[in-house]
Amino acid sequence: MSKPVTITDVKVILTAPEGINLVVIKVETSEPGLYGLGCGTFTQRYLTVATAVNDYLRDFLIGKDVANIEDIWQTSQVHSSWRNGPSLNNALSGVDMALWDIAGKRAGMPVYDLLGGKTREAAAVYRHADGKDVHEVEDNVRKFMDQGLLYIRCQMGGYGGRVSELSRAENTPPGSYFDPHQYARDTVKVFEHVRSTIGNDIELLHDVHERLAPIEAVRLSKNLQKYRLFFLEDALAPEQVEWFKIMRQQSTTPVAMGELFVNPQEWLHLISNRLIDFIRCHISTIGGITPAKKLAHYCEGFSVRTAWHGPGDVSPVGHAANLHLDLSSANFGVQEWYGPSDVIREVFPGTPELRRGYLYPNSNPGLGIDIDERLAAKFPCDNSKSVPNMWTTARTRDGASARP
């Protein structure tokens, strides 16, 4: 019997080539030159992930057989007794993805082949068209159409729109200000305009980002029904998911949910009762490829499709993992894509490529992506970005906190 390949070290690589704090985990092995990369990016609390890996997971994992991915995931998840939180899940995800990367490299196969093989050649993506008014939104939609995109998310003024300083109460604290009622009305106007000028050949999406009270979210879903959205994303906060039953009774607008989910109990009921149409989890925040593949299979039995979270605060390693899941899942729906810069591609050689609306992998073994650690070190993370006026600090006109 051949000697098992074991984990010899687990390293955290922190880098921010685009000013967004990214966490990449590197798992080194007893086989010379063999290592794997995983994404554990929790941008808003990236140092907690680094601490979880450096001070807890590393010593627990050293010496374990890299082939035992499932056992390592299960034991690591319960090792702290308390579990299903974003920091520990991201730390676990970085290790889990890295082990899948190693498994592919050992087999000489892309990870999608280990997950059952391709069900498609590429993954259709959507990108974000924003603007200060309906005409600028339309212009940006047309730009993406010219690039071959078939799915486009429309926003106006960012999440929840924006309000001017003049319309706010005096002496209000810093934050991302919006008016829920104005936002809901303006969103309907956006889709009325874009559908009337663009037509019905393009799939349109919208992200509420939990900016509305539940009954207002139901009303918006109903008012958008005639514009045939591909889906309405995160219309409710995770604490209010019981309202999806009411939304389902009132509207046929497809629903996507799950960006903030960390615990299986948050999605099992929604899927089994067919209250959502797309699962939107940030796969590193639920623990990596291992739980995400199980979630995709569970969704398949209820005709729920995948639409994994894919913004700039997912590292290219995480985007690669998303793509391998997309290609190997029969119930794939669409993939969010943010458009990496040239510098990101230099730091992360092998980053997936977008061509005419479809995201393509390379055929390299594993996740097919690497990191230039010397170049990554030139772009240090900045903890001062966690400031009070971040987009996560949503407030209404009177200064009251609102759930982002």
The reported pLDDT for the residue numbered 160 is 86
pLDDT of residue 166: 67
Tell me, what DSSP letter sits at residue 150?
Answer: S
Beta bridge partners of 353: 360
Nearest to 280 by CA among 311, 257, 299: 257
Tell me how far apart the alpha carbons of residues 196 and 205 are, in angstroms, rounded to a whole number.
15
Q: Tell me how crowded residue 354 is: count the other CB atoms within 10 A of its CB.
A: 20
Burial class of residue 7 in the structure, from the number of CB atoms within 10 Å of its CB (0-12 exposed, 13-18 middle, 19+ buried)? buried
With 0-12 / 13-18 / 19 or more C-beta atoms within 10 angstroms meaning exposed / middle / buried, residue 165 is: exposed
Domain boundaries, the chain: 114-363
Helices (H), 108-174: 111-114, 134-146
Domain 114-363 has CATH 1.10.10.10: no
Question: In the chain, what percentage of residues exceed pLDDT 70?
Answer: 98
- Spell out the residues 6+ positions from residue 201 whose beta carbon is closer than 8 angstroms to its own: none
- The four Cα atoms 17, 18, 20, 26 give a dihedral, to 10 degrees, of -30
pLDDT higher than threshold 70 for residue 389: no
> pLDDT category, 2, cuts 50, 70, 90?
confident
The alpha-helical segments, DSSP class H, found in 199-267 are: 214-223, 243-250
- Whether the pLDDT of residue 388 is over 70: the answer is no
Give the per-residue pLDDT at 386: 55
Which of 209, 309, 319, 324 is catalytic? The answer is 209
What's the pLDDT tens digit per position in 200-231? Answer: 999 999 999 999 999 999 999 999 999 999 99
Going by pLDDT thresholds of 50, 70 and 90, the confidence category of residue 55 is: very high
Which pLDDT value is given to residue 164?
74
Mean of pLDDT over the chain: 95
pLDDT in tens, 85-128: 999 999 999 999 999 999 999 999 999 999 999 999 999 999 99
Among 159, 177, 183, 358, the active-site one is 159
User: Closest Cα to residue 66, out of 131, 4, 156?
Assistant: 4
| Contact (CB, 8 A) for 292 and 286 | yes
* pLDDT surpassing 80 at residue 390: no
Q: Using one digit for the tens of pLDDT, what is the confidence trace for 162-206?
A: 887 668 898 988 888 889 999 999 999 999 999 999 999 999 999
Catalytic, 309? Answer no
d(CA 27, CA 213): 43
Is 209 designated active site?
Answer: yes
Q: Is 393's pLDDT higher than 70?
A: yes
| pTM, two decimal places | 0.95
> Quick one: pLDDT at residue 391?
77
- Residues 68-93 have pLDDT tens digits of 999 999 999 999 898 899 999 999 99
